[in-house]
Each structure stands twice: as structure tokens, then as C-alpha cells.
Structure 1
């Protein structure tokens, strides 16, 4: 196997020459051998992260913190990965359990986007002077705002798929309610037979219960739409342009088709897990 040499603040490492990930991912592979679950198993989460990176690249391009060429390289790389995501999943090999609040995952995504962008433009992987994982792909960002934003994008997509399935199940139960409207059975209370009812009545009650849960899921899902993108490390927006949050979230709405909004207080939003608790309760 042939290798290329990459270097970070800790030193140099050999990376398989054809690998789309880089030194930060390799360090994570070496340091976090915790479980048998890999981030590649959660493609909807990777989709959310890459869409977030795409929104940030578009914002940096509009604001001028990235050149038009750098921004377009990232945008095209994101589109390429999103369009062929199953083919790129092997490039996301790190353990789902890791230290650093998801920094290894963030850097894995940064490196893959950078190297896909380089290859599209005729450069070798690792030729980072043309497109750098940290200086360009991660421009104006921190793991602490990108990771939870990507996570929320993924949750929003996932809940929508779940709601679609529940609606389908509810519709089928309604059809069965009609089919079984003439089938008599005993209704029960206090663990005993009580009064007559139709089997159709029972199926319709189940359908109604699911419809009520759909409303609960939709309300809880919408709490996820408030994001801290642009808050960077702790919510103060350090190392990001003053209007980066608004512009990046504008593009996030465009690219996801979902009505994401900026949290009124990015410091609070960076540590707040309340929406996750509410959604977890709705799922249970």
C-alpha cells in the first residue's frame, strides 16, 4: 500500500494515498477504539453535517471570508458526496464514541470534503494548499455549532420519515376499521369482558391514537429548528464574521428545505439540550 505524509501540530503520519480522510481521522482511528459502531452507519447524520458544511461554504463565499474559487470547490464537493453518499461511506470510518464533543467527526467530514474538492479540481488528496480541511472547509465554524446543527438537520429529516410511516400505518388502520365494522367483540375494562363493540371501533381508536401522536411529534420536531450555527466554540461567535450566523442559516434553509432559525441567544443554545429531551419524550 502506498502512503502520503500529512502533518498536524502533533507531528507527521502516514495516510493511505487514496484515502479521502486525513491525519485527524487517522488519529481518531488510533485513539478511539471503543465500540463496533462507525459513524458511517448513520448516513442521515452525515447528510445533515455535509448540508451544514455546504451552507457555511456558501455563507463564507457571500461574505468574502473564502474566495469564490474556494467556496465553489467546497460546494461542488458537498454536492458530489451527497449525490453518491453510499459510495463515500467507507471514508467515514471512525467510532461513534469519541472524545472532544464530536471534533473527530467534524474533522473527518472536513477532510473528506476537502479531498473530494481537490480531486474534482485535478489535485491529489492531501494537497491542502489549494483547499484545506480546517482553514477553508471549517472556516468560521467550530465543532460546537456545526455538530449540533448537523445533528438537528438529521433529526428533522428522520422525524419527517417517521411521521410519514405513522401516517401510512394510521391510514391502514382506518381501512381495517371499515372492513371490520360488522365484526362484533367484547370490549374489556378492569381486565374483564364488559360491553359489546365492533372490531372496527377498536382499529379506529388505534388510528386516532396515532394521529394524536403525530401532532405531538410535529410539535417536538419543530423545537429542533432553532440552531446555534455561527456561535462557534461557546456561542460568542469568536472567529466568525458578525453576520455569518444569519447568512449561513439562510443557506441552511435553502439547502434543506426546512425552516431553520437562529437561536435568540447562541450562548444558551450551545449548551441547551431541552429540545432533545422533549423529542425523546415524544418518541417514547
Structure 2
């Protein structure tokens, strides 16, 4: 494995660790976007200039229910400890089921209601444009989230105003809470839709680190905002979770499921013991 692939695998282990102890959470969509967040946080976003900041650039997790990935990735940047990840969704813990700026100083925006995080990202990008700032805005959306009307209002606004500082990434795992996107509300032709709103569209494998890095660093065409349609696998890395809507969210992992999941992610008996001793 490459260094970033090892980090992404650690992120996935941290996700399962935290959701197991919370007895609740969204493993499927958290696992599918682990590679995306790993490359963003470790290879693309600018270094922070002040303590307790993830980056000088902005990151908005519009699919707020994937907070376990945000926390797990933050732990690989030294912003959280493994012990803190164990408190996911606990009363009085800063690590709630959706990101909360009141308790986490390195989080840019509190998110939860789907579609709204993207709209805030667009507003931040417009503000940066007005200030002639070179800072960038990255936002991660779920594919089911694209069924929200305000997503397309924000997309239309961004294309019209040429918000070239803005990069959106769609975690296109093609499943949502009850079934496939195509059964609930088909998104295709997805590339054509974004292009029609004036966006530069890049179609990639959302688990291929080289493709992710190249797409995220690619110059925006003229003044267009950029969107990555990242094809991913829901529950990526855990054989009994992959491509199963059952593991979207509101699930409780049994001890055996936890062990099986961690083993599927390459966790050795020694590493499992290290987690248990936290």
C-alpha cells in the first residue's frame, strides 16, 4: 500500500471503532468517502497557520451524516485522539452525529440537513471571490443528497458567478438509506446536469488515490467551479457491508461484527488489542 492508502485504511478502522462504541452511526457512506477525505486532508488542502485548524482552505461536509469519517480523518492529522473517537454520539461529547462548530474549532460549518452544507460552501466561495482571496473551498456531497432542490439552485448560482475557488466532490456510491438512487430518484445523466449548470466535471474512481489527487489539483477550466463525480463503493473495505443499503445508517455493530469488520480491514490481533486498550 502507498502511504496515503495506509492512512485511508487507518481512517476506516477509526470509523468502525467509533461507530461500534457509539452503537449507532452511518458506516456505509462513511467508508465510501474515506479515500476522498484522506487525499483532501493530507495532500491537497493548505497547511493551517493557526492551532486547531484543519487548513487555511475551507472544507464543508455537506453529507453531515458521514461525520465519523471527518473525525477519523482528523485523528490522522492529530486534531483528535483515538480515545476521543470512542465518544462518538455520546452525551456531552464534541463528536456528535453531525459536525458541530460550537464544540470543534477546526470544523468550518455545522452540517446535517442535506443540501444546506453545499449552499453554505457556495456562499463562502462567493465571499472569497469578492475579497480576491486565493483560498479554496472544498465540499463533499452524498449522491442521494443531490435529490434536494437547493443543491441545483446553488449549482446554478455557482456556475453563473464563476466561482472557480469552489470544488465539489460527489460521493457517488449509488445507494441511499432504503435502496439504490435509480430506484428512488434517478440522477443520470449526472455529468450532463452539472455541465449544463456551467461546471467543469471530472469523472473518477473515488478510491484511486492518483486519480483523486490529479483531479483535485487540476486547474479549473476558465472561471468555472469544479465538481468531481467520484464513483465509490458503499461500505468500502468490509466485505459484508459493501453495496448493502442495510449498512447506510442507524446501525448497531455486535462485537463479532466489529471484529469481522476490523479483520476485513487488515487489523491484526495486536492492533485489535491496542484499540481495546484505549
Q: TM-score, normalised by structure 1?
A: 0.24
Rg larger in structure: 1
More helix by share: 1
